[in-house]
Structure formats: C-alpha cells, structure tokens
A = this chain, B = another copy of it.
C-alpha cells in the first residue's frame, strides 16, 4: 500500500499516525506546531504495546515522518487522514493546499465529530472523495471507526475508506445519513444526560452511577448492543414481543427522563462527586487503569474468549 498522510499531530492525529506506522505503513504527518515531534514520539511509545497485544504490530514498524508543508506530506499518498483542530475554515484552508498535490482517487478522511461532512466538502475541487472517518479515542486501541459521507461523497470513496480501515483490523460502521456527533457521541451524550440528572437531583452519587454502569449495564453492552438486549428481553417473539409487552412502559420512562443543564450547582455536584469517586487518585493514573482494562478486554474478545 502507498503512503498514508496524516494532517495534524494532536492527540487524535498522532494516535492515527502511530496506528498506521506500527502496522508497517509509510506515514507522513503534517503539523506546524513546535511540539508535534514530541507528541508523535510519546504516542508511538504508548501505542506499541497496545498494537502488540492486539496482534497488529508489524514485523517492521515504520517511523512517521513529520512535514511542515501539507503539499509534500500528501504527494503520492494512498489515503489522507485529517485530524486538524475542529475549525471549519482551518480545515478548508488545508484541504485547498493538499488537493493540488493529491491523486484524484485518494480519499480525504476527516476525523471530525462535530462538523458535518457536507460542510467539510463545500468548495473542494473534488468533494466526492471527502468523507468522515471518526475513531473512538485512542485510535490505536478502540476498534470502531464511524464512516459518514456528505451530500457530494461518491460511493467509491465510502467503499475505499471502509476497505482501508477493515484491512487494518478496524470495525467500521457506515452511516446512511450524516448527523452531528455520528452514532457514538450521540449515544454517549444520551447516557450521560441521564447520569448527570441522577447526580444533580441527588438520587445517587457520581461513584454509584458509574458503578451501576461498570457492574451492570456495561458488562452487557460490551458484548450485546442496546437493540439486541431488548430483542432478547422479548423472548421467542424477540423485538416484536418486547414492543408489545413493554413498549408503553418504555415510552413512559422516556417521558420521565431528566433534562439537566450544566449550571453552577450541577457542575459543582459533578466535580465534587467525581473528586469523592476518585479517592485521591489522579486522572493520569485512572486513565492508565482504564486503558489497561479496555486493552485486556479487547484482546480477550479478539481471542474469542469473550
């Protein structure tokens, strides 16, 4: 496969670069920031054992090369992964700079979660090859990539991106219509809204709401999606049986869900509650613990144990 160009070496860009390079692809990273090289080195070191545990580490990983001009970074590229800051005009500016140097059949995949692909592709010389490929963070660990085309995206571009990520071991979903936040961030926001409500109104502590997920719902959601859970709750009649029996109560529950705002009192309840829940441990330590646990679970899933 030809070289992969990564635009932007922030957390997500460096994560993508490490993921590609450790699988043996030639990677060129465009970033003008003074800390780009450090960031790349740090993330490469963090990602290496993760790729290894997933069985994805190439016999000969490459080293991502850093470019301070976008044109040379993308010349001859087989795939462009854009991970610039979430500012539309900045992304458009860089797209204009790279399009001149880029093969017509090369997909430009934006990692954006907040800007619709139709807005991203406006004004491009070849809007049909622009799409969104949004990873879960960090991109070298989490399997999911959400692919979403805009109004002008060509089917061939969606298929090419889909094949590209799957070849590298990712699990892809292709959205049928674009929507802000795609699937993951919307579902996450929906769950968190009720989690915030339960804390803000004093029904439970931050720690207990979190534990109700890790010790209950989360263990199921890691292996069984929300629709399938209710399909299986419907017995032999499946989803239809569930809807007949519990459709009305579910609608009543929906109507009773909280609609919190992040006002001062709620922010304080969340910050104080999280401080209690952390039991004096720093975010960095908790993040390490999370990554170790997620990696162990994904590796066990990959081995077919889970």
A→B interface (CB under 8 Å): 114, 136, 142-144, 146, 171, 173-177, 179-181, 183-195, 198-199, 201-206, 208-232, 234-236, 238-240, 243, 247, 249-251, 253-254, 256-257, 259, 261-262, 267, 270-271, 273-274, 277-278, 282-284, 286-287, 290, 293-294, 296-298, 300-301, 305-306
Task: Please state if B296 and A300 are interface contacts (CB–CB under 8 Å).
Answer: yes
Question: What CA separation (Å) do A201 and B183 show in the bound complex?
Answer: 12
Q: Which of A146, A184, A228, A296 has the most CB of B within 10 A?
A: A228
The 8 closest A-B pairs by CB, nearest first: A210-B225, A218-B221, A144-B216, A190-B194, A223-B293, A173-B208, A183-B212, A218-B222
> What are 10 sample pairs from A and B whose C-beta atoms fall under 8 A apart?
A171-B211, A180-B253, A184-B216, A187-B191, A190-B194, A192-B226, A214-B224, A222-B297, A228-B277, A235-B283
CB distance from A214 to the nearest CB of B (A): 5
Determine the chain B residues whose CB is within 8 A of the CB of A212 once the complex forms: 144, 146, 173, 183-184, 187, 225
Determine the chain B residues whose CB is within 8 A of the CB of A270 once the complex forms: 227, 239, 243
Determine the chain B residues whose CB is within 8 A of the CB of A114 once the complex forms: 249
Q: Quickly give the copy total for this chain.
A: 2
CB distance from A22 to the nearest CB of B (A): 20
CB distance from A262 to the nearest CB of B (A): 5
CB distance from A16 to the nearest CB of B (A): 16
CB distance from A89 to the nearest CB of B (A): 18
A215-B171, A306-B300 given; A191·B253 CB < 8 A = no
